[in-house]
């Protein structure tokens, strides 16, 4: 599946819903999906992030590099089954001790995802599930399709790679119309921001903060 070529005229939904889903259509997109999911953590929330990942997932995609993440050291739970992942996510979200709980639970049922949403609301946290497809039912308020993109090059050295980029396509939402935005890594904040190719139209914003949204192309 190739990324969409259109730019959404809608505002990028910076504030995360209690439960969202990030889908990686291809194996190469999983790293981008994880980066996007982590960016849904509110920037001002100092609570740690919980990562609940099956051992099979870690064997296929690798373990996230904790020193490369912003904020407090993340809590990593290695699970054997999807049921264990869901249990860890629910307990972490409900506890109120984490700002965001991220887990590879693409096989979760509608009832299981509802439990996660209730737990996230109870704990004042954000839950994000990782998946490979969006064909099932889910209580996630927003369901994203995330694809990795080539960087546009460094502004000062054409031979050097530029900021990492990805496309976040809002496939389904209970709040907004579907749309697609291109995000890139901000080396100063270590978070994602809207790509600024159209910065002359509106100022680019940093995803996950309260800054005004711009357009992404």
Entry pTM:
0.83
The whole domain housing 93 covers: 19-206
Question: Is residue 12 included in any domain, yes or no?
Answer: no
pLDDT digits (tens, 9 = 90+) for 96-129: 999 999 999 988 999 999 999 999 999 999 999 9
User: Across all residues in the chain, what is the average pLDDT?
Assistant: 84
In a domain, 217, yes or no: no
**Residue 13 falls inside a structural domain:** no
Q: What is the CATH number of the domain that holds 119?
A: 3.40.50.300
pLDDT tens, position by position, 126-174 = 999 999 999 889 999 999 999 999 888 777 887 888 888 999 999 999 9
What are the DSSP calls for 88-156, one per residue? Answer: HHHHHHHHT--SEEEEE-TT--HHHHHHHHHHHHHHT-EEEEEES---S----SEEEEEEEE-----SS
pLDDT the model gives residue 160: 80
pLDDT at 190: 79
The answer to the question of residue 61 being in a domain is yes
Split into its structural domains, the chain has a count of: 1
Does a structural domain hold residue 211? no
In a domain, 194, yes or no: yes
pLDDT in tens, 30-46: 999 999 999 999 988 99
CA angle 116, 119, 120 (to 5 degrees): 85
């Amino acid at each position: 599946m190739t990324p969409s070529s259109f730019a959404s005229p809608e505002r990028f939904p910076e504030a995360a819903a209690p439960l969202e889903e990030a889908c990686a259509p291809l194996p190469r997109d999983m790293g981008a999906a994880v980066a996007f999911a982590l960016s849904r953590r509110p920037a001002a929330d100092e609570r740690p992030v919980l990562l609940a990942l099956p051992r099979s997932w870690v064997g296929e995609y690798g373990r996230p590099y904790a020193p490369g993440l912003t904020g407090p050291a993340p809590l990593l739970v290695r699970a054997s089954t999807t049921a264990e992942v869901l249990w860890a996510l629910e307990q972490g979200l409900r506890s109120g001790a984490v700002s965001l709980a991220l887990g590879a639970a693409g096989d979760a049922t509608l009832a299981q995802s509802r439990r996660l949403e209730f737990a996230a609301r109870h704990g004042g946290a954000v839950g994000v599930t990782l998946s490979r497809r969006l064909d099932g039912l889910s209580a996630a308020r927003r369901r994203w399709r995330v694809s990795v993109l080539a960087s546009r090059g460094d502004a000062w050295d054409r031979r050097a790679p530029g900021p990492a980029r990805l496309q976040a396509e809002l496939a389904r939402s209970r709040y907004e119309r579907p749309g697609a935005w291109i995000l890139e890594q901000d080396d100063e904040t270590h978070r994602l921001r809207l790509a600024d190719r159209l910065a002359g139209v509106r100022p680019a914003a940093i995803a996950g903060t309260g800054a005004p949204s711009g357009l992404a192309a």
